[in-house]
Structure 1
Amino acid sequence: MGGTALSRTAGSAQVIKKDQLERFEYDDPAATLMQVPGVYVRGEDGVGLRPNLGIRGANPDRSKKLTLMEDGILFGPAPYSAPAAYYFPLVTRMTQMRVIKGPGAIAYGPQTVGGAVDFISRPVPTRTSGAADLAAGQYGYNKVHAWFGSGDDRLGFLVEGVRIQNTGFAELPNGADTGSTRNDWMVKAAYTIDPDAKTKHRLQLKLAYADEVSNETYLGQTDADFRTNPYRRYAASALDQMKNHRTGIVATHTIEGPESSYQLKTSAYRFDYQRTWNKLNRLGGAGAATVLANADDPGYAGYYGVMTGRIDSSGNGADTLYVGPNNRSFVSQGIQSVLSTQTKTGPLEHKLETGIRFHYDHIKRLHTESGYLMQGGQLVPSGEAPLTTSDNFAGTHAVALHMTDAMTWRNLTITPGARVELINSRTEDYQTKENKDALVAAVMPGIGAYYALLPSLGVLAGAYRGFSPPAPGSDSSVKPEYSVNYEAGARYTRGSSRAELIGFYNDYSNLTDVCTLASGCVSTNLDRQFDAGKARIYGLEAFVAHEQRVGAFRVPVSAAYTLTYGEFLNDFTSQDPIYGVVRKGDELPYIPLNQLNVTLAVEHRRAGINGAFNYVAPMREQAGNVAIERAVATDEQVWLDLGGYVNVSRWLRVYTNLRNAFGAENIVGRRPYGARVNAPRWLQVGLKFQF
């Protein structure tokens, strides 16, 4: 918080550094973030196209309860108006990832209940340098990643591009490609007006472009089919495909005072994101999720047969398959300034941070459906006119302010702070001609403390108010999500060694969820907020990292463990399938009781090997207080990733990675329609050139 050194931060924070990112060469942000305690993942596509991430029990659906940033700038398509994160930057382009939890979360927003994740991209180099990473593997996998830049103390530039593709591991009856192709480009230019001036002015321009074509679906399987062949895809999903592209521009001006006494960083940004996801939405007479959950019921067996392609559609409309190109366009833009200063008042040392952000974003939805008949295992148009299911707009203007002051006296650092969010939103439904406006003002105070018992050992504690904005246009009866979050623990830091043990308790006065298709909501409830009332989530996070030198070898090891409980504190019934019928004392869904990540590497200047072991306990998919039932829970997940490299020369490295070495085949989720599987055992081999 507030620019304090990580070892003395009055709150939870973890940094995944460049060497850790390069050690495993993950393409999936979720796999990378498993190294951080308190971060949960709900699996879906197996390759991390649209990760479902949660922190400290926050709902992981489309990562919508997290504040997601790249270089300190919100990167979600519409963080206020539609916070579901359908876009994520490619991890391989990053040099660092930061996770902020506890009181430090109030410096970021709008989502402060769980925490924030900041992806740090490659800086402009100060000398001529570059690299290329070429990889190939099973399932048609290939990666081309290259960057080149040059600079000095005045002027510099960087060009970087990544292309990752695969042909998919899921199996359609017609043998079609089920994979994806992603491109991610970035250009940076930096200029320092006078490098020798006491007060320095730096200008930076960042341009970005990304696109994706993925033959991805929301349709899973029945549990019985999954246990027979977890990689099977039903014929009804043969036309499913996501296409999206994103453009971005960020212009930054930084003023740095003499001897770094202060820094004022101002960034103006705009991102445009367009996506069209053509996918199976429903059948004429039944929902896909209902069919798969009751496939053995005579009333649904016919629908199930049509979905698998085993039975032809009757043509009576009930078993017509409705496939919809859900078209959405987004804009996210704004300007933000952050002032960081260091000063003294008597015996107190202050590190102050003050920030303000003016932000606007919107989403435009045009969802249509066309009917298809299953004929001979193929989808053919039914001939009926397309149906428009959603045609609307949601926009938000927001002003956010925050201030923190890390005050240090001898061994004690106390960091009070506060965040204010002023949110004005509007929705327009072009079908019903109904318009709604809403205004929300929220104040989030917080305080954290760290006391150094020894130079390397200290205790910490903190409390703050968590906040998640209501859906745009909500009337006054719809309340934001509020919580009071507490944490306390101890931290040891010495050289390359670090250990933390932190307990947390999140007391929700109003737990909420905004309905999405990804969670199984029907189109009439899309982006509608549902309240769950009071709840509490509490647990324990443990983290240890150490690097041992053994002769010419480095042996880095780390372990991250999370214990979490969560329960509702009142009865209610919700149309949101994430909740459903809930009784007081029921446990929250999608929170694993235990989660563990252990990484170990043995590295030499000429070669190295590494491994990452992961364990995730079964997660409820429905609220309940009886023993977890396999039919309504994810599987217990255990998997091992292995890797190794050989430095052929100073500029050439050969590496290999074996994902999921055990070949685990687990149900990682059933949202929205049926059982989904993790990625299979997957071998990848690559070459890295650098200069």
Structure 2
Amino acid sequence: MLSQLFNWIFATAIFIISINVSVAKDVSANDNDGKSLVLSGKVSSLEGETIPFANIMVVGTVKGTYTNLDGTFQIYDLPDGEYTVKVSAVGYKTFTRYVQVINGQLSELNLIFEEVGVEMPQFTVIASKDRVFSRVPGSVTYIDAKEIKTVNPLSGNEVLRRSPGVHVVDEEGVGMRANIGIRGLDPDRSRSILVLEDGVPVALAPYGEPELYYTPVMDRMSGVEILKGSGQVLFGPQTIGGVVNYITANPPQEEEGAIYIQGGQGGFFTGMVNYGNTFGNTGIQANLLKKRADNVGPTEFDITDFNTKFLFNLNEKSELGLKLGLYNEISNSTYIGINQVMFDRGGEDFTRMAPDDRLEVKRYSMSLSHKYRINKHVRLRTIAYGYTTTRNWSRQDFSINQTNTPPANWTGVVWGDREIPGGAVFMRDGTGNRNRQFEVAGIEPRLEIDHKLFNTQNELIVGTRYLYERAFEQRVNGTRAGVKSGNLVEDEVRTGHAISAYAQNKIEITKKADLNIGVRFENFDYERDIRRRNFAGIGIRDTVLIAGNVINEIIPGIGFNVRPTSTVNVFGGVHRGYAPPRTKDAITAMGDVLDLEAERSVNYEFGLRTEPTRWLFIEATGFLMDFSNQIIPVAESAGGIGFGVVNAGATLHRGVESAMVFDISNLFGMSRIKVTYDLNATVLRSTFSADRFINDVNINGNRTPYSPEWFVNSAITIQTNSGFGLRLAGNFVGNQFADELNSIEPSVNGRIGLIPSYKVFDAVFSYDISKWNSRFNFSIKNLTDERFITSRRPQGIRVGIPRFITAGYEFRF
């Protein structure tokens, strides 16, 4: 399968190249000089500082580029005419210049940013947002707003897959709860990575319960940053796999806005309105999103998402940002999936076995961010935040047994096949209502100091972070199906206080080499207060069971970034991975403190990025993550029984992730059409690396669950000056195991067994009409209607959504 995959990719690339050779010849014939350099120049600040990675766009065409490390740029193959050049860079006000191309003669431009734009003082992962040669010590990906719009995602998972090394498992097909695994780590509920929105954590409880039951909606994002490697030392608490930071739009300098609507099959609808402007010293950006569907795969949902940002330019030294958010979701999410019998006979992939299951998620958030420039060399950034999340989930009880005997409180509804032992699923006349409310508050001041220790340029970042979290959890058992009230059987409160302190110094050894040395200290003090539970042989009783623990950890890291030429970037590093144990796992329901250590690893990486020509970009990173102790979760979402985890011992994750962008239009001198082919591929081996026995079987050397040996994302993108756009994308995933024993034969209940490899193709058509300020799109997801298993957990098989068609319209003002 792997060889067939790469043969397909190679053949597709050759096919596209051969098609566009003839196109390029036609274009060249019309434009006299098909490969001539017509625009070049240099971008700098008013003080004379060169600006690398500034974005240069020729308005109304597909032509554009980024400035090099020395601030220079080149644009090729423009026919004669008058053009508007738009110049933008992070931290500066966007401006335009008019140029004229006559007889294909070279025009040189010296472009100077005269003013610095006022920005939201929020924390970001990749400070310079550069596309290729970041100074961050580690593998990074920045997916911008243009790329998100080109993907036109039904699910945000489609965007995250554009980064090498990132494997995302679909749960319900629309990405309401992302399951992100980086470099072979278990993707369940994204527990092994740190997920942020504008630098603020989004997990239920970042330390004690880092599950992603709320995932920022990709539709309203202006970018996504993904960081792997030693640059993670500044962030926390989860710093094993990587950091994913969703970025929302900031208040613009001038009035702008958009209205977007999209509809599709199964009652799918997205409506979004955003508006931004600056009034004197105050900027505002507001976004309202409504998203719903009656039948997308197995899911119906209704989401309302409102966010607004205020930017206050207090004085020449400081800015204050305020962000408010409201999220409300009701969906028929469920844990129960179809069994193997139902999958094998087909036609029941999206049967709603528990149609009354309901998940309600409400999230209210507020954050304040402040930047103060003490002097030109010292800056103080501070962010303070608080949010509450209510996650109430009503799920119908069911029963499975080998003799297919109906339970006493059976509703009469049965799924599967009663003729096959264990092949029937009996729906019971009762519910388990898992009601949880979370409170999180934190503050983080960060000092950035430019200094010249040992007569070299240095940037020191020191900061501290305090985070408070509290979880209120109750379980109410209903005596009838679909009932949300009933008997209170569990009641508890979990509380955590975390203090983190960090320092990282970046040393500019030469103009072409940086060394980053960092360390972080983590202290997590947590407590579990059990107030009501079911005691064996006694029954349900009120109780007072309180236990706590304290975990301390030091997380060092070192990384380097070398730029031997303006087209080559070599980077690497080593850091300690860290994740505290979930509070529910570390303290039992009887109040016993388990000897459950923090999750620790030593992570190495070495990589290369290069753009040897104006039409080719290549990146490759080798990585190794060596776990001395990896915690295997037994939460129900991971297919476990919800309690009793143990230290799972050593695991080893190693592999190579790579990316390539091939600009075919630049290669062949096309001036009215832009054609690119890109590919990111990851090959990895994630295994248990120490003796551990399950059912008397030593799993040392077995692959860890839900870690495919390879996955590839590839796309061909065509854009024309007339506004037409086409994206053909393919996502390819190798086979995976669903359990530690690496069982190949599936169980009757569908929860273990091999998950076969699969491939999914998408097509997105767009047409931009500039004079109408409008854009139309038409998307076909799963173009070939591939039928495939995405997951066998938590309680049965999840099947990927079938072919799905949407159409949308955007009006900009």
- Judge same fold: TM > 0.5, yes or no: yes
Indicate whether 1:332 and 2:440 are aligned.
yes
* Letter of the 1:518 counterpart: S
1:217, distance to aligned residue in structure 2 (A): 1.3
The amino acid of 1:201's aligned partner reads S
Does the residue aligned with 2:795 lie in a helix, a strand or coil? coil
Per-residue deviation at 1:238? 1.9
CA distance in 2, matches of 1:230, 1:676: 13
- Relative distance call for 1:582 and 1:20 in structure 2 (3 A) is farther
1:513 matched residue in structure 2: 632
**Amino acid corresponding to residue 680 of structure 2 in structure 1:** A
Find the residue that maps to 1:11 and give its secondary structure.
coil
Q: TM-score, normalised by structure 1?
A: 0.88
Structure 2 residue corresponding to 1:308, chosen from 395, 410, 415: 415
- Which stretch of the first structure deviates more once superposed, 454-463 or 420-429? 454-463
The Cα of 1:304 is off from its aligned counterpart by 12
Answer whether contact 1:219 1:280 (CA < 8 A) is retained: no
CA shift, 1:257, in A, is 5.1
CA distance in structure 1 between the partners assigned to 2:517 and 2:624 by the alignment: 19
The question of 1:217 aligning with 2:217 is answered no
Residues 341 and 532 (structure 1 numbering): CA distance in 2 closer, same or farther, change over 3 Å?
same
**Structure 2 match to 1:406:** 506
**What is the root-mean-square deviation in Å for CA atoms of aligned residues?**
2.7
What's 2:621 paired with?
Answer: 502
**What's the CA shift for 1:322?**
3.6
Within 1, Cα distance between the matches of 2:477 and 2:453? 65
* Greater radius of gyration (CA): 2
8 Å contact 1:95–1:122 — kept in the other structure? yes
Aligned residue for 1:422?
523
1:462 to partner: Cα distance: 0.9
Tell me the residue number matched to 1:486: 604
Q: Which amino acid aligns with 2:759?
A: V
TM-score between both structures, scaled by the size of structure 2:
0.75
| 8 A contact 2:498–2:524 mirrored in 1 | yes
1:458 corresponds in structure 2 to 569
| 739, 756, 760: which one aligns with 1:635 | 756
Q: Say if 1:320 and 1:354 are closer, same or farther in 2 by CA, change over 3 A.
A: same
Residues 1:444 and 2:566 are matched in the alignment: no
1:79 and 2:206 correspond: yes
Structure-2 change in CA distance of 1:323 and 1:482 (3 Å): same
Task: State the distance in 2 between where 1:203 and 1:224 align.
Answer: 58
SS class of match (1:20)? helix
Is the 1:7–1:493 contact (alpha carbons within 8 Å) kept by the matching residues of 2? no
C-alpha distance in structure 2 between counterparts of 1:141 and 1:2, whole Å: 35
2:490 to 366, 384, 390: 390
CA distance in 2, matches of 1:203, 1:20: 29
Residues 263 and 340 in structure 1, CA contact (< 8 A), matched pair in contact too: yes
Q: Which residue of 2 aligns with 1:240?
A: 357
| Letter paired with 2:674 | R
* Mapped contact 1:446–1:465 kept (Cα < 8 A): yes
Q: Deviations over 1:502-534 (max 9, x none)?
A: 1111111111034322123325x1xx5431111
Partner of 2:808: 686
Instruction: Assess if the C-alpha contact under 8 Å between 1:58 and 1:65 holds in 2.
Output: yes
Matching residue of 1:433 = 544
For residues 101 and 421 of structure 1, the distance between their equivalents in structure 2, rounded to whole angstroms, comes to: 19
Q: Given the superposition, is the C-alpha separation of residues 144 and 169 from structure 1 closer, same or farther in structure 2, using an over 3 Å criterion?
A: closer
Which residue number in structure 1 is paired with residue 343 of structure 2?
226
| 8 Å CA contact retained: 1:235, 1:309 | no
Contact 1:17–1:96, Cα closer than 8 Å, also in 2? yes
Q: Is the 8 A contact 1:132 1:147 kept in 2?
A: yes
Q: Give a deviation string over 1:174-212, Cα, whole Å, max 9, x none.
A: xxxx41111110111111122xx3xx2111111100010
**Structure 1 residues 606-662: Cα deviation after superposition (integer angstroms, max 9, x where no partner):** 211112110001110012368787961223120011111112333111111111111
Q: Which residue of 1 aligns with 2:736?
A: 619
How far 1:79 sits from its partner (Å)?
0.9
Q: Secondary structure at the residue paired with 1:81?
A: coil
Runs of 5+ consecutive residues of structure 1 not aligned to the other structure? 172-177, 292-296, 312-317, 373-378
- Residue 474 of structure 2: aligned partner: 366
Which stretch shows the higher mean deviation, 67-76 or 631-640?
Answer: 631-640
Matched-pair contact (CA < 8 Å) for 2:618–2:658: yes
Q: How many residues align?
A: 649
Give me the whole-angstrom Cα distance separating, in 2, the residues matched to 1:300 and 1:636: 35
1:321 and 1:659 mapped to 2: Cα distance?
38
Distance 2:191 2:775 in 1: 38
Contact 2:297 2:801 in 1 (8 A): no
In the aligned structure 2, how far is the partner of 1:230 from the partner of 1:102?
44
Residue deviations 1:414-443 (CA, integer Å, cap 9, x gap): 111111111100111112421111101110
Displacement of 1:476 after TM fit? 6.4
Query: Aligned equivalents of 1:492 and 1:389: distance in 2?
Result: 59
Identify the residue that residue 658 of structure 2 maps to in structure 1. Answer: 542
| Aligned-partner Cα distance in 2 for 1:164–1:625 | 39
User: Deviation of residue 77 (structure 1)?
Assistant: 1.8
Cα distance 1:616–1:156, how it changes in 2: closer, same or farther (>3 A)? same
What residue in structure 2 maps to residue 294 of structure 1?
none
Structure 2 partner of 1:569: 689
Deviation at 1:272, TM superposition (A): 0.7
Q: Is the 8 A contact 2:173 2:297 kept in 1?
A: no
Q: How many angstroms apart in 2 are the aligned matches of 1:281 and 1:417?
A: 49
Which secondary structure does the structure 2 equivalent of 1:179 belong to?
strand
Q: Could you say what secondary structure the match of 1:139 adopts?
A: helix
- Offset at residue 339 of structure 1 (A): 2.3
- 1:365 Cα shift? 0.8
Q: Does 1:149 align with 2:266?
A: no
Aligned: 1:604 with 2:746: no
- Trace 1:152-163 onto structure 2 (pairs within 5 A): 154-163=281-290
- Percent identity of the aligned residues? 25
- Cα 1:118/1:496, change in 2 over 3 Å: farther
Question: Structure 1 residues 170, 56: CA separation in 2 closer, same or farther (over 3 Å shift)?
Answer: closer
Distance 1:277 1:573, change over 3 A: farther
SS in 1 for 2:648: strand
